[in-house]
Structure 1
Amino acid sequence: NLNWTMEDIIKEHQAKQAKLKEINDQNRKAALAATESVVNLMADSIGDSVADVFVAEKKLEKETKGLQTNTAHFARQTHQWLDMMKQFNTNLKEVGDFQNWAKTVEWDMRNIASALDYVAKSDKEAAAAAYSPASAASGDFPPATKEG
């Protein structure tokens, strides 16, 4: 009987161990299922966030490319405007130089005209003095010229 009792105890112990193993397996399966559920929920949540970030990143890349294109266009346009302003400034300087040259020529022409007027006036005065009645009485006549 003692063996039988020991045998019963071992069988009972083995049955309890099997029952505990079965309970542990059920608990492990339940824990794995719960963990898998939590991981799936987190993955879905993270996946949605990652998808949102990805969409935002693509949108930013598109806007960045658009801004780069606009910046390049504005840079070219600004360069063209600067070239036009430089050319305008050069032309304006040339107009100023031309005006200065024209004023110089005008001043020179006035000086020449004044000198010619002075010479003409001096010649008239000399001719008038040469033909005055006093010179006619003395017999002094101006020398003859080839023209006259």
Structure 2
Amino acid sequence: MYSPQLPLARTRVPYSSSSSETPNADPGGLEASLLQFIHHHHEASLGLREHTERAKKDAIRNAARVSDLLVDAVNGGVQEAFVNQKRIELEIRALAATIARFMKQTDHWLTATHAINTAIKEIGDFENWMKTMEFDCKSVSAAIHNIHQA
């Protein structure tokens, strides 16, 4: 069966000057050394913790700065693309207006040329009618002339 070990209690043994101890022994020297060692370890641990916290804060600050720089770099390209997109949209609108104006002008030209073609056809039809009438008049005149001579 397992029984947990209880921590040993720290007791201080009073110093007694007996002849069995060496005369150079420092009273409480071991305990004082241990306390000094623990105190030194605690201070070193606190210093290391503070150094770690400063390094952590510096790392977070630097990471935030790098993140901001990356966002600025990406946003700069995005912003430039957005400006170019707006410029292109304005050019497209201007081009669409120009195309609409040219389409109206082309429609007017088509209407004018169609009217000219119709007029030319009518002139051609009139000329053909005139030739037909002239031929008919000559035929009637020749018939009357033949009748008159006969």
TM-score, normalised via structure 1 length:
0.70
For 1:33, the equivalent position in structure 2 comes to 61
Relative to structure 2, which stretch is displaced further, 112-121 or 8-17?
8-17
Q: Distance in 2 between matches of 1:91 and 1:32?
A: 86
What secondary structure, in the 3-state scheme, does the structure 2 residue paired with 1:31 have?
helix
How large is the Cα RMSD of the aligned pairs? 2.1
Task: Give the one of 110, 119, 126 matched to 2:147.
Answer: 119
For 2:107, the equivalent position in structure 1 comes to 79
Q: Deviations over 1:65-116 (max 9, x none)?
A: 1001011111111122222222222222211211111111100000011111
Q: Distance in 2 between matches of 1:92 and 1:27?
A: 95
Relative to structure 2, which stretch is displaced further, 48-57 or 71-80?
48-57
Is 1:110 aligned with 2:138?
yes
Is 1:47 aligned with 2:75?
yes
Map residues 57-96 of structure 1 onto 2, 5 A cutoff.
57-96=85-124
Is 1:14 aligned with 2:51?
no
Relative to structure 2, which stretch is displaced further, 51-60 or 2-11?
2-11
- Gap runs ≥5 in structure 2: 1-27
For 1:135, the equivalent position in structure 2 comes to none
Amino acid at match of 2:127: Q
TM-score, normalised via structure 2 length:
0.69
Deviation at 1:3, TM superposition (A): 6.0
Count, aligned residues: 122
- Gap runs ≥5 in structure 1: 123-148
Give 1 or 2: higher helix fraction: 1
